[in-house]
Amino acid sequence: MKHNIILPLLLCMALLNAGAQKRSGSAEENSLRKLAIATMAINSLYVDSVDDKKLAEDAIRGMLENLDPHSSYSTPKEVKALTEPLKGNFEGVGVQFNMLEDTLLVVQTVNGGPSEKVGILAGDRFVSVNDTAIAGVKMSKEDIMRRLRGPKGTKVRIGVKRGGIADVIHFTVTRDKIPLNTVDASYMLRPGIGYIRLSSFGATTHDEFVNCIRQLDKQGMKDLVIDLQDNGGGYLQAAADVLNELLEAGDLLVYTEGRTVRRQEFRAKGNGLFRKGRVVVLVNEFSASAAEIVSGAIQDQDRGTVVGRRTYGKGLVQRPIDLPDGSMIRLTVAHYFTPSGRCIQKPYVKGGRKDYQHELEERYKHGEFTSSDSIHFADSLKYETLKLHRTVYGGGGVMPDYFVPLDTTRYTKFHRELSAKSIILNANLRYAESARKDLLKRYGKDPYPDGVNCIGEDNKAKKGFAAFMRDYTIPQEVMDGIMEEAGKQGLKPKDEAEREQTVKMVSMQMKALVARDLWTMTEYFRVTNESNDFIKCALERLDAAR
């Protein structure tokens, strides 16, 4: 036996003997001792070499996987990716981009950001970073992002190809903090009706929400539509802060409670900016966690109307536990409850993550997305709202007050195939690159030259989004190009009806993408919302309640 394994072997044997002699200890002590002995035995005796770090990670994952579906372990790299979108900023060069084939194409520069300051424009193609080629070399998007991001104050040299200029242009960009907004869109949906769409609940959500309320109030907002479709949640405190702007002093917003965590209540302070106007909240099956806190409180406090489809059903609170190497355990420590006492966590079996992850598919198969009659709640899950005493249910998501069925005819199989192959996105990128100057000349860089209330003006010569919304259509040659590319990739509609429906939806989608590329995500949603069934239902409810 080699000398270098004698000591760990003796230690392992000592631990084994200690384990045999101290079986009278507590169950917890014995379990910890067991784990230590197993680790030492594997390190000392296993036939092949082992990676200590991976061994520890596998042990942690193994323990957590047999708990609830939301307790998890993340590596340092995963922690950064998970927390960055919620922190409200990251450090980089400040561009929004897409990959066109194997080249980074700038869709927009961040207003006032590092790239805009040095003269980088939408439509530019990045070909090199610090003299390393990134175009035409099959470099992954993640690797390109890693090269562009870096600490605030550091410099990066970027080589750019620009339409109409033969040579590569070089820019030296000083990295800075880049804001990550959680408000996707904010505008006046109709006269007197404001609209705010939240993508998540992060560190800056409350400030963003307040700024939107103030701007919309200046434009005559009386009622508000809050769009939480596809909002996967985020910080519980951010959700409580948003609710504080909508509810009266002392109103319960949400409370949490767990086996070792005492009940903690969140209540409105009474200083909110929008406590009187009517509220409609839009949700769907992908609205989860903090989005369910908001929709559940609005419903329970009879503050407004919830429109859409039953939400995801995540009512568990995770506490982050930082580990020495920068990794993290997110451990479920409590349930959260809506003001009426509902726990909206959907049922799960410990260790049954696979079935839990496929629960939405089962809902779809059972017809829940197309008919509210497919949804059944046990009487034991029945609760009452706090002011009007309406019946609501716990036990798995927030059931809306008004159901919006999934329109299975809206997006055809042919459309889904075009999207999956990135044919629509690539067509948009090519078109936006070639037509950007002409489109800005026609409609202007400022989408609202006379303010955001210019929608519906009759002046045909006026530039801005109103003119774009009224007059613009995707050129036929662009649509023909999409169909031609589909044919090259072996895609075709089953009949003329499917082709017509696909063309209709692709045209709308392309117009929305062009609006986004010319201006912001707000203009994207201004286009798509005009045919959105959730928006139509919200407007109908507000009209009916007048």
Q: How far apart are CA 493 and CA 498, in angstroms?
A: 6
Q: Active site includes 300? A: yes
Is 311:289 a contact under the CB 8 Å cutoff?
no
267, containing H or E segment = strand 264-267
Write down the H helix ranges in 341-422: 353-357, 359-365, 413-420
**pLDDT digits 0-9 by tens, 412-447:** 999 999 998 889 988 998 898 889 889 999 999 889
pLDDT of 459: 44
pLDDT of 357: 84
pLDDT of 20: 52
Q: For residue 280, what are the β-bridge partners?
A: 225, 305
Q: How far apart are CA 42 and CA 33, in angstroms?
A: 14
Burial (Cβ within 10 Å: 0-12, 13-18, ≥19) of residue 52: exposed
Q: Active site includes 302? A: no
Q: 261: which residues sit within 8 A by CB, 6+ positions away? A: 317, 333, 334
Q: 243: which residues sit within 8 A by CB, 6+ positions away? A: 253, 254, 266, 268, 293, 294, 297, 298
pLDDT of 116: 84
Point out the catalytic residue in the list 186, 289, 327, 340: 289
Is 317:334 a contact under the CB 8 Å cutoff?
yes
Q: 215: which residues sit within 8 A by CB, 6+ positions away? A: 186
pLDDT of 24: 53
pLDDT of 5: 47
Q: 312: which residues sit within 8 A by CB, 6+ positions away? A: 232, 285, 286, 287, 288, 289, 292, 346, 360, 397
pLDDT of 531: 95
Residues of the chain with pLDDT under 50: 1-7, 9-10, 453-460
Q: What are phi and psi of 172, to 5 degrees?
A: -105, 115
pLDDT of 23: 53
82, containing H or E segment = helix 76-87
According to DSSP, residue 2 is labeled -
pLDDT of 544: 80
- Please give the full DSSP string across 447-464, using - where no structure is assigned: S-TT-GGGTT---TT--S
List, as own/partner pairs, every contact residues 40-44 make where C-beta atoms lie below 8 angstroms and the sequence separation is at least 24, other chains included: 40/8, 40/11, 40/12, 40/15, 41/12, 41/16, 43/8, 44/5, 44/8, 44/9, 44/11, 44/12
Point out the catalytic residue in the list 115, 314, 327, 517: 314
Tokens encoding 179: 């804001």
pLDDT of 6: 47
Burial (Cβ within 10 Å: 0-12, 13-18, ≥19) of residue 407: exposed
Q: How far apart are CA 226 and CA 538, in angstroms?
A: 10
Q: How far is CA 496 from the centre of its chain?
A: 36
Tokens encoding 241: 């802060």
Q: For residue 111, what are the β-bridge partners?
A: none
Angle between helices 496-518 and 413-420 (to 10 degrees): 40
Point out the catalytic residue in the list 68, 184, 227, 300: 300
pLDDT of 528: 97
Global pTM reads: 0.85
Q: Is 1 helix (H, G, I), strand (E, B) or coil?
A: coil
**pLDDT digits 0-9 by tens, 335-374:** 999 999 999 999 888 888 888 888 988 898 989 999 988 8
pLDDT of 21: 52
Is 336:343 a contact under the CB 8 Å cutoff?
yes
Q: Active site includes 536? A: no
pLDDT of 39: 82
